[in-house]
Amino acid sequence: MIAISLTIIVAGLLLFAAATTLYFMFARAGTGAPASELLLTILPPLLLNDLAIMILFIVAGIFLTHRIAGPIYRIEMDIDRVLAGNRGARVHLRKRDAFNDLADKVNTLLERIDEG
């Protein structure tokens, strides 16, 4: 999912750069041809739209990676604490984090280990 998001962002940046270059090439040429006038009319809103979509993807990507990577890191740290000998360690995640079911199963496993 992260790779797909990054691919979309990079593709958006490349399209934005290409469209901006094309826009300035036609703006400087000033040929007055109907096609170039249409392009100069349509391209600025498209560039703003592309920029808004890229910013949205970047913000969503950061948000989603924190919701996924954070819990994985937390579970890993709690398992390391158990391996180091801390017998009362449990995994505690935020309500909106991903992998709450996995954390519950790890906690059940840790309880069974502590009982045995």
For residue 61, the model assigns a pLDDT of 79
Quick one: DSSP state of residue 88?
T
What's the domain count of the chain?
1
Least Cα distance to 19 among 38, 47, 45, 52 occurs for 47
109 token code pair: 């496993």
Quote the distance between the C-alpha of residue 79 and its chain's center. 26
Full residue range of the structural domain in which residue 16 is found:
2-115
pLDDT tens track of the chain, all 116 residues? Answer: 667 777 877 887 788 788 778 777 766 666 556 666 666 677 778 778 878 887 888 888 788 888 888 899 999 999 899 889 888 889 988 888 889 999 999 999 989 988 87
For residue 32, the model assigns a pLDDT of 59
- Residues in the chain, overall count: 116
